[in-house]
Homo-oligomer: A and B are copies of this chain.
Amino acid sequence: MKFCSECGEKVHLGVPQGDNRPRYICASCETIHYQNPKMVVGCLVEHENKVLLCKRAIEPRYGLWTLPAGFMENEETTMQAAARETLEEAGADVEITQLFTMFSLPHIDQVYMLYRAKFKEVVFSAGSESLEVGLFSESEIPWDKIAFPVITESLKRFFADKKSGQFQIHNGAMFKQLENQQVSFHVTVLDEH
Contact = CB atoms under 8 A, between A and B. Distances in A.
Contact of A77 (B18, B96, B173): B173
Contact of A5 (B1, B73, B193): B1
Contacts of A173: 77-79
A97 interface: yes
A152 interface: no
A125 interface: no
A106 B37 contact: no
A113 to B, nearest CB: 9
Interface in A61-83: 71-80
A39 B111 CA distance: 9
Contact of A3 (B6, B18, B78, B128): B6
Interface residues of A, number: 48
A38 interface: yes
Contacts of A156: none
A21 interface: yes
14 contacts: A2-B6, A3-B4, A3-B8, A4-B5, A5-B33, A8-B8, A21-B73, A36-B71, A39-B39, A77-B173, A78-B111, A78-B171, A79-B172, A98-B193
Interface of A: 1-11, 18, 21, 33-39, 71-80, 96-99, 102, 104, 106-107, 109, 111, 128, 169, 171-173, 190-191, 193
